[in-house]
Structure 1
């Protein structure tokens, strides 16, 4: 007797009530059909001109559907039309940016060494480039229903590399996922590709089946440490392990020098308040841990931070589970001995939470027993550790795990700056000076990743080099010209950048 498929409901986080059923959870057979169909489109994606057209067409369709996309995403996430309009613009810009990457062709990393019998050992004719891995599994993020979801950076970069994509939808925005997947599939049809170049599945079990499927060649994930690590382990445990590029969690430490606090306490406090509460603290780059000086300058900073945070209205988090976890996490941390709460974070009512921050002496952290303060709390909460002497800063930093970002707030002639920048660099993939980490520019020099648990690999999920995750190098040795791919032939018939 067949088991009925579980329904997938769209839920309004503002009320906790179901809006509509939008899909059913995929079975193992459904996942197999989706992956197999996606794999069959791989040869058609080999044409770079078609790939670029697909990305630009998808961007245009998303822009045309903006009112419906924003309305649907807001109904499922409560992130607001202004935020989501900006996120949609970022999403379509990412797609166009990767189309430009495809057109340029430098991502193929063509390298040619002509034969030289005089070297030791003699060098044959060697021609190297990069080819797509195959079907990519993409696991959508909860906090970015567009830019890190179905039409987001993982999907855009994988398609740009020539890899078909099967997306596992996030349960917080299934209707948005279905809408965006339909637009991507329509874009494929409009440029002459099979719609199955992009597929969508729902359900926890489907996510596990996806990473285990033998035709899936790589995976990209944005989410929790627990969920990402489970999938990472499953990817490694396969008979043929695959690359798993996971973004899991980040504390994003900030160090404020004494000189900076003395000269810019109010500015830094206001800036931190804005950054830590942006998007109700649901950014992966939220500054969740701050080292600030003790004494009068540090007190002025804390007062300015309190003023900024108190001015933040209560807000709705992405779902009830995240709200409950935030409330419990805030209570656990604020209840630790020696922890103060100038602005206590927690529940405002049944559906909303208030922002806040906690304080603790750096010496207390160094004695141990306060590990929760050194772990990410998803939502509008940060921890301010007050150091008495500069030597406590590197000692506390040594307790921190890997991060996406690390920030230094300093003055122009700060004598501590060089040493502190050197101490922060091993902790993160992006190091900021006198800036705030929320907001990740989509650019060629961008790196959005970091040491574990920030990410499970050394790659970036934002920027042009995100495409490298879905490629592997191949070298042809002593191969006749007529058998070489056009990209590697003498005369450079395609006009590609070469080394």
Structure 2
């Protein structure tokens, strides 16, 4: 059921009232709530999987794995809060002997306030209603309003109900979590423009993310929109590696490209190499694999329609040649894998060649030499990932290219493929604009919590009134930087 403008006003007010309560909770209470959410999701029966299968066309095995990933996100983020990772505590003790006297200053991170999360379409569990943005915002101490994705409404509601049961079991106030359906962009944008909303999490298209960024920037009080907007995730195929295993690399690449019908934000949609007999062999094998690939249903009709439209737009560009299309018939709503090629000189003069085609589509850029390959790399927009298929000799011989690639992405991969985003502290799932709205932040891993906090320093405060994490005795036993030294010890 869609929510009205008046309904949104009431939901946001309720979220603000809830935030004033949950911002005062102990870390132990916040952690317990997050673990209760994980338990509630884990307890969901087969209805969750069968509903998501019907709504998203994703296979059972993929969804079972994604459910496990979602549960792990909630528990691992709770563990991070318990360790104090996201609090980033610093304590500098007083020195009365200094001139002028140095005060006692203690810094921690606190929640921003009510957060709006826009559910994503391609991961109905892990990036949607109960996904990483929601878990990260709760871990930060915020209240959360989720705008459900229309592609899987029943799945979203099942997940929302699990969170609401956890809210009730934890004794948290109504408004801690809200779940809304919006029929228009205007309704959705109210969840960004409302003055009580303090941050936004979004995973989706560049067009959608940029629209929300513009709304947030136009507010009297601008707020951050943490938008992950996809990329073409370029794969650089260097000469020695190509000479050693052109056909094998092509087969591995097609496996990554067609995984999940190409509907991953890290799908490798662009390959770049220098013209050679080995690159010709790579393209020939790639094309043969694409011809034999079997089309599969995409997430929903809207994505399938956009895939066809964007594919036709890109392949109609000057200099683009379609090398192969899956020969099996693609039913309506299915995504047929495609590979095309273009010359480096065409890429350099046409930005349309680096636009994302969300689905199993790859464009291979054939550069005349290493200098043109470097020029193509310098032309690239910001990316979530970049991959080097290379030998160590290739890397040593192409230091400038490697350095340029690093400046264009949030994660650089060596002799592997990007379709797989590990949930861990070291993961950075973000990149230079336009792949994401702020390259400093990740939407995966416990560091994603930091998107929804702000620093707060306490100067010369009585110990009894300090937050637990800042007290002299360190009652939580967490890591803190005290006078520039990392320690779990009490302040001496």
TM-score (norm 2): 0.93
1:299 pairs, out of 280, 283, 290, with: 280
Select between 370-379 and 187-196 the one with higher mean Cα deviation: 187-196
What's the secondary structure of 1:95's corresponding residue?
helix
Q: Deviations over 1:355-407 (max 9, x none)?
A: 011011112323x2x33221111111010001121111110112211110011
1:361 pairs, out of 343, 365, 378, with: 343
**Would you say the 8 A contact 1:66–1:85 is kept in 2?**
no
Change (3 A) 1:118 1:260: farther
Q: CA deviation at 1:105?
A: 1.7
Kindly report which structure 2 residues correspond to 1:457-468, keeping only aligned pairs within 5 A, or say none: 457=438, 458-468=440-450
1:460 and 1:47 map into 2 onto residues whose CA distance is 26
Change (3 A) 1:196 1:291: same
1:101 and 1:391 map into 2 onto residues whose CA distance is 45
Select between 35-44 and 248-257 the one with higher mean Cα deviation: 35-44
Which residue in 2 is equivalent to 1:215? 196
2:461 pairs, out of 469, 473, 479, with: 479
Q: Deviations over 1:93-137 (max 9, x none)?
A: 101101111211232111111122555654211111111111110
Q: CA deviation at 1:302?
A: 1.1
Kindly report which structure 2 residues correspond to 1:381-392, keeping only aligned pairs within 5 A, or say none: 381-392=361-372
Q: RMSD in angstroms over aligned alpha carbons?
A: 1.7
Which residue in 2 is equivalent to 1:27? 4
**Would you say the 8 A contact 1:135–1:165 is kept in 2?**
yes
Q: Deviations over 1:414-446 (max 9, x none)?
A: 243433321110101111111111110000101
In structure 2, stretches of 5+ residues that fail to align are 482-492
**Would you say the 8 A contact 1:257–1:416 is kept in 2?**
no
2:80 and 2:128 map into 1 onto residues whose CA distance is 21
Which residue in 2 is equivalent to 1:317? 298
1:138 and 1:257 map into 2 onto residues whose CA distance is 40
**Would you say the 8 A contact 1:186–1:195 is kept in 2?**
no
Q: Deviations over 1:46-105 (max 9, x none)?
A: 222222222222222222214111111111111121111111111111011011112112
2:393 and 2:85 map into 1 onto residues whose CA distance is 40
Which residue in 1 is equivalent to 2:480? 498
Select between 346-355 and 201-210 the one with higher mean Cα deviation: 346-355
Corresponding pairs, count: 474
1:105 and 1:49 map into 2 onto residues whose CA distance is 11
TM-score (norm 1): 0.91
Which residue in 1 is equivalent to 2:78? 99
In structure 1, stretches of 5+ residues that fail to align are 1-23
Aligned pair 1:456/2:456, yes or no? Answer: no
**Would you say the 8 A contact 2:262–2:359 is kept in 1?**
yes
Q: CA deviation at 1:308?
A: 2.6
2:462 and 2:298 map into 1 onto residues whose CA distance is 60
Q: Deviations over 1:133-153 (max 9, x none)?
A: 111100111111111000100
What's the secondary structure of 2:58's corresponding residue?
coil
Change (3 A) 1:264 1:40: same
Q: CA deviation at 1:294?
A: 1.4
Q: CA deviation at 1:321?
A: 2.2
